[in-house]
A and B are shown apart, each in its own frame.
Chain A
Amino acid sequence: MEADPNISAMEALPAAAPAIASPWRIFWQRLRRQKIALAGGIILVILYVIAFFASFIAPYNYERQDRDLIFIGPMLPRVVGGHLAVQRYEQSTGLFKYAPVAGDWGRVHFFVRGDQHMFLGLFPSTMHLFGTGDPKRPIYLLGTDQFGRDIFSRLLYGSQISLSIGLIGIVLRFGLGMIIGGISGYFGGATDTVIMRLCELIMSIPALYLIMSLRATFPASLSSTSIYLLIIVILSLVGWASSARVIRGMALSLRERPFVLAARVLGQSDWWIVTRHILPGTFSYVIVAATLSVPYYILGEVVLSFLGVGIQEPSASWGTMLSAAQNVEYLTNYPWLLAPGVAIFITVLAFNFLGDGLRDAADTKT
């Protein structure tokens, strides 16, 4: 390279400038490095796929009762003679005690014909993922409950309710929270005071007390769709206040930023500023908070159903299934009734993993 005193040092520098990644790409890259978050995400994807195909994967309908095998324990298939097979059981001495019938195995097939169900809620089908194809040789992977219903199947049907409530719920809660919180923080003044007092009021009552009181203002028995929607609405009405408070705080500090001043000077309307400038600034909080609040919905439904004021029998939800376990005698003798509890645990754990990872990925300080 020839030294030319007329060329400044800057021109002599190679022209390569570092590629600037957008905030979303950075966020995504950081997220990929959080192994725990990925694990959580994968578990959730699996759970939602299973829930989606619940009626196909479940060998039995959620209402199907088997009066001969009430409270039977988990029946796990084994490899017998080169095939997967499940033992047949019959009544033994004592109430709800069963003994295997020696040598009587039913082969487990995949893609068998069984009870009719609505595949994806769209069209009727009798195809199931697995089963024995023989009504006399049932396969109850997680045992049966007090009505002889297959717990595994009910678990799957229940997952549809529990898992969907969360997703719809967070949209409602954070939708409300963002709009109200954003307006409150941006406009300030009397609006802000009134809204914040309201939030404080809501937050002063311990959540479940308020939830129960709200639930009581509606008739005890409603159609299952109504109850489903009601649960979501009530849980959101109680939860939006804390989210709105945080978003209002963020809006308050964001509105002092120069870019908002610039927008005002340019003549943009308040509404535009709130929706296009302020609220997007809250996204990193909202994504993390939303993920971490899905468990609140799942658990809310569980408590409501468990105490008898949520999803009603015979519908299967993880909450109603657990209420059978309230009977201490059942609980100690037939612990597989707690299976829905484990399912809830895994789901909540996955959401917490994911939410945590999202939070670490969004936190630009570390």
Chain B
Amino acid sequence: MFSYLVKRLLHLIPILLGVSLLTFFLGALTPGDYYSQLALNPQISPEKLAQLRAQRHADRPWYVRYGYWLASAARGDLGYSVAYKTEASGLIFGRLWNTFILSFAATVLAWGVAIPLGIWAAVNKDSWVDRLCSLIAFVGLSIPDVLLALLALMFAASTGWFPVGGAQSSLYDLMTPTQQFFDHIKHLILPAIVLAASDLAGIMRQMRSNLLDTLRAEFVTTARAKGVPEGWVIYKHVLRNAINPLLTIFGYSLAGLLSGAFIVENIMAWPGLGRLTMEALFAKDYDLVVDSVVMAAALLVAGNFVADLLLAWSDPRIRLK
């Protein structure tokens, strides 16, 4: 298994290189840049503009700029954000952390609710429980994130129980660490629920379907023939097998979550990578855009890697190769 993991790990590097190259290339295709906006400002002379440009290598062809970016990124320095006038690294990692905890919270929520519901539905197949779960699944799958986010905001605004967007209150800096922690949680709840909603539906249906499929396997008859009580049959024998295919979804689920986080961040003002990307795009700060996109891709790829790890560990057929 070790060699399998090392291989997968090494695989990540060309992917991240490819992603950064692609994004940089797209940035190069984009008409205008931060400096062309500045050019509209009559207070900045053309010479000053040319000087600023040269400083940031903006006058060189894109592949050269990519080289500079890559070289500094390899050192951990993600460059400079012209739009925010600050080092990009601090900005990016801060936002990255926010996107990560949002996605993580949504994952925990989605899987934590979906798996038991899926099992419940499968074990009580065709009962009202099953039909209810099926309904929840369909509704959850079909509700657009946009609508759900807007409804959540409306809910927060009209009841006042939750903050309306954002990641921290205005009095954050005046709070004690414990208060800050709970403040964060309060702001996290609604966005996490919105993000988890559509994922939850898909996972639940998959769990139910896997469980029903596995229930038809022959080793289930063997277990019953040995006199294993029905509860054990389901929770010990069947579940361990039924959950394997779900680990492959885990990777896709993460990709979907990161994309969904993009919407939730932008609508509910959660300061994550998605929101940063939109801000950077509007400000035409393309270096920042590249940093953002590469980071988001890195999160996704890391998530896939974790999913591969889990799958390899849980299936003895792979683990022992």
Inter-subunit contact A345/B281 (CB<8 Å): no
Q: Are B150 and A352 in contact (CB under 8 A)?
A: no
- What residues on A are CB-neighbors of B69 within 8 Å? none
User: B145 contacts which chain A residues (CB < 8 A)?
Assistant: 299, 303
Instruction: Please indicate the chain A residues that have their CB under 8 angstroms from the CB of B271 in the complex.
Output: none
Shortest Cβ distance from B180 into chain A, in angstroms?
Answer: 24
Q: Are B259 and A204 in contact (CB under 8 A)?
A: no
A205 touches B297 (CB 8 A): yes
Closest B-chain residue to A202, C-beta based? B22
Q: A206-B262, A326-B267, A353-B138 are in contact. Are A331 and B153 (CB under 8 A)?
A: yes
* Contact pattern, B 9-21, Cβ under 8 Å of A = 1, otherwise 0: 0000011101100
Cα distance A341–B144 in the bound complex, in angstroms: 7
Taking a contact as CB atoms under 8 Å apart, the answer to whether B259 and A338 are in contact is no
A212–B265 alpha-carbon span in the complex (Å): 14
Bits for A188-220, please: 1 = Cβ < 8 Å to B, else 0. Answer: 000000000100110111111110111011010
Say whether B29 contacts A217, CB under 8 Å: yes
Within 8 A of A (CB), among B120-171: 138-139, 141-147, 150-151, 153-154, 157-158, 164-165
Residues of B within 8 A of A208 (CB): 259, 262-263, 274
User: In the complex, are the beta carbons of A212 and B281 less than 8 A apart?
Assistant: yes
Bound CA span A273–B144, Å: 41
Given the interface contacts A204-B19, A212-B277, A331-B153, does A338 sit within 8 Å of B147 by beta carbon?
Answer: yes
Please, how many residues of chain A have a CB less than 8 angstroms from a CB on the other chain?
40
Q: Is the CB of A341 within 8 A of B150?
A: yes
Majority SS of interface residues in chain A? Answer: helix
**CB nearest to B156 among chain A residues:** A328
Q: How large is the interface on B (under 10, 10 to 19, 20 to 34, 35 or more residues)?
A: 35 or more
Q: How far is the CA of A352 from the CA of B134 in the complex (A)?
A: 12
Instruction: Flag whether B292 is at the interface (Cβ < 8 A).
Output: yes
State the B residues within 8 Å of A (CB): 14-16, 18-19, 22-23, 26-27, 29-31, 138-139, 141-147, 150-151, 153-154, 157-158, 164-165, 255, 258-259, 262-263, 266-267, 273-274, 277-278, 281, 289, 292-293, 296-297, 299-301
What is the interface of chain A, defined by CB distance below 8 A to chain B? 197, 200-201, 203-210, 212-214, 216-217, 219, 295, 299, 302-303, 306-307, 319, 322, 325-326, 328, 331-332, 335, 338, 341-342, 344-345, 348-349, 352-353
